[in-house]
Structure 1
Amino acid sequence: MITLYLVRHGETLWNVEGKMQGWNDSPLTEKGIRQAQKLGERLKNINFDVIYSSPIGRALKTAELVKGFKNTPLVLDDGLKEIKLGPWEGKSIQELKEEEPEQFNNFWHEPHLYYFQGAETFKDVRERTHKAIDSILSRNKDKKVLIVTHTIALKSIMSKFEHRPIKNLWAPPRIHQTSLTVVKIDDDNNCEIIKYADTSHLDEVKRDNITAV
């Protein structure tokens, strides 16, 4: 049995400003740092065998804060990156609503139809993240593994365990900042979702419908 603890990064500056990040990056806010610290406190008694993180700064910083002073190995994995948004990166939600209304709508409401030149599709992200998870599962039998990643990457990973099609990727639950998802997988690849996007370690959670990724 392997147990995966899947986490989204903490709040960033561009999350607050409503800008799309993708493979680009912005720093954690003071709130984002507190979120990661609170999650670290929640998980302090779990002896993780290894931590895997997206190499993008906001995820890596979150992983480091959750890790704290433990000697747990921290491995960077490109397969855990957020969706690559290409020309959309650094643009605000309002700009994209006005400039690319059809694909903006597809991105948030019809993800199986989303396509933009220079960017990844949701199918690309699903294939990349599933490959990364298969590798992690094969190398970590009977271990506790912490994975720090991003909204769409985490949703894509969970689609593997839920058998969820891409067109339903945005269906609840919402992946809030530093939310915790726990999945147990046995040697026959049977899985049990123990927690999904749990935020009980946070004082408050933003409830808006659309946020930057």
Structure 2
Amino acid sequence: MAKIKRIITTLVRLLVLGAALSATIVMVTSHDSAEVLNLSFDAKYTNARAFVYFAITNAIASGYGFIALFLSFSTPLWRLVFLLDVFMTLLLTSSISAALAIADVGKKGNSHAGWLPVCGQVPEFCDHVTGALIAGFSAATQRPPTLQIRCSNSSPDTPSITEKLEHEASMTGAAYDFNRATTSLTRKLLSSPKKVTLVRHGLSSWNQESRIQGSSNLSVLTETGVRQAERCREALANIYFDQCFSSPICRAKSTAEVIWQGREGPLVFLDSLEEAHLFFLEGMKNVDARREYPKEYITWREDPANFNVNGVYPLQKIWATASEAWREILYTPGEHFLVITHKSILRALICTALGLSPERFRAIDVNNGGITVFKFNTRGEAMLQSLNMTAHMYSNHIYLN
């Protein structure tokens, strides 16, 4: 859906560019001469300031339209294009209004002011002006569609309801200040506030087979998982990210490669984003693990903070690596990052950002393809903005920022 919208936007911009350029050329080439009462005069666009203004504004609109064609849809600059589109529309409308007023006098005259019509004497000039006005009007009325958020119900077959959300914070009551809301994850001030979007990998082969995955690299992305990753890519298409971080484990790596496809920023694989190591449970079907290792399995499921193998506690270790991952991400230059990884490490990332202990590990769930968003102030303190968003899994939902 996002790709179709980009194509439509590009086509409309090409039409606007062509119309504005045509209006400029036709207006500046308008010229005719006539002789009245043995007096000759030339009719050209420079005789009327309104026509000059019309030509200049359409030339500006042509230049702007040409530049806008080359702006990437994933850059922050694209968000300013909406305002510039409105400005150009107003500029073109004002120039058309001014030129149309003069053209009307030229065609009909004004008996109250004693002005005679001139189009009968210089018809070629008037025809050019008329053509320029038509092209200019076409350029002013063909405004490209703006970026929108699609909100719909859970059925992919039901038409979605589209509404544009501008000024997000003021319209939805979002928080501006969250100083000291959580404990800082960094040991020093950040150069700027940060935003981090977390995504869980798509459905894997071991997800499908109900096997315990852990840090194993044998579980791969399924066809369904690839489609989920593609849906994530479409849902995030209008958001600019400075960089993408991913777990190097194949199911997350494959998801990251699908989502990051077509982007220019670097895709970096961090060992600190690897999934928790679950020793001998990895690769076992849940039903088999429960039967063969009942004590360990039940502890992992019901009291994961106390699950250990030979004194090694996976959750304590993953809490430490989550903190390390946060520092690696937040110290990176840039303001908005995409992170693609696994369920347990995602839970650890979320909990450590919110100051929750390993005992709260199962208080949070993250679905395949689920999207979670954090904001960080310069102190490195986190605010959870969105948790486990999955609307894009069931509909053509596009996130704006």
Q: Same fold (TM over 0.5)?
A: yes
Q: CA deviation at 1:189?
A: 2.1
Alignment partners' CA distance in 1, 2:346 and 2:253: 15
8 Å CA contact retained: 2:246, 2:269: yes
Does the Cα contact within 8 Å between 2:242 and 2:265 map onto a contact in 1?
A: yes
User: Which amino acid is the alignment partner of residue 177 of structure 1?
Assistant: N
> 5+ unaligned residues in a row in structure 1: which ranges?
205-213
Distance 1:34 1:92 in 2: 24
Matched, 1:151 2:343: yes
**Number of corresponding residues:** 202
Q: 1:100-115 maps to which residues of 2 (within 5 A)? A: 100-115=293-308
Higher helix fraction: Structure 1 or Structure 2? Answer: 2
Superposition deviation, residue 164 in structure 1 = 1.2
CA contact (8 A) 1:112 1:122 kept: yes
Q: For residue 162 of structure 1, what is the aligned residue in structure 2?
A: 354
Q: Does 2:393 correspond to 1:194?
A: no
Query: What's the secondary structure of 2:340's corresponding residue?
Result: strand
Letter in 2 for 1:169: F
Q: Which residue of 2 aligns with 1:98?
A: 291
Q: 1:13 aligns with which of 205, 225, 228?
A: 205
CA-CA distance at 1:145 after TM superposition? 0.4
Is 1:87–1:118's contact at 8 Å kept on the other side of the alignment?
Answer: no
1:1-213 maps to which residues of 2 (within 5 A)? 1-25=193-217, 26-117=219-310, 121-140=314-333, 142-172=334-364, 174-203=365-394
Q: Which moved more, 1:72-81 or 1:14-23?
A: 14-23
TM-score scaled by length of structure 2: 0.49
SS in 1 for 2:368: coil
Point out where structure 2 has 5 or more consecutive residues left out of the alignment: 1-192, 396-401
Distance change >3 Å, CA 159–CA 55, structure 1 → 2: same
Distance 2:312 2:250 in 1: 20
Higher relative contact order (CA 8 A, sep 6+): 1
3-state SS in 2 of match to 1:46: coil
Deviations 1:147-178 (A, max 9, x none): 01100100001111221111121013x21001
Rounded Cα–Cα distance in structure 2 between residues aligned with 1:186 and 1:176: 27
Deviations 1:12-56 (A, max 9, x none): 111010111212132211111110000000001111100000000
Q: Secondary structure at the match of 1:152?
A: helix
Say whether the 8 Å CA contact 2:307–2:313 is kept in structure 1.
Answer: no
Q: What code does the residue aligned with 2:273 have?
A: L
Q: In the TM superposition, what whole-angstrom CA distance separates every residue of 1:97-116 from its partner, at most 9, and x where no partner exists?
A: 01111221111221111012
Distance 1:178 1:82 in 2: 16
TM-score by length of structure 1 reads 0.90
SS in 2 for 1:183: strand
Larger radius of gyration: 2
RMSD over aligned Cα atoms: 1.6
Change (3 A) 1:126 1:36: same
CA contact 1:84–1:119 (8 Å) conserved in 2 = no
Segments ≥4 residues shifted beyond 3 Å? 117-120
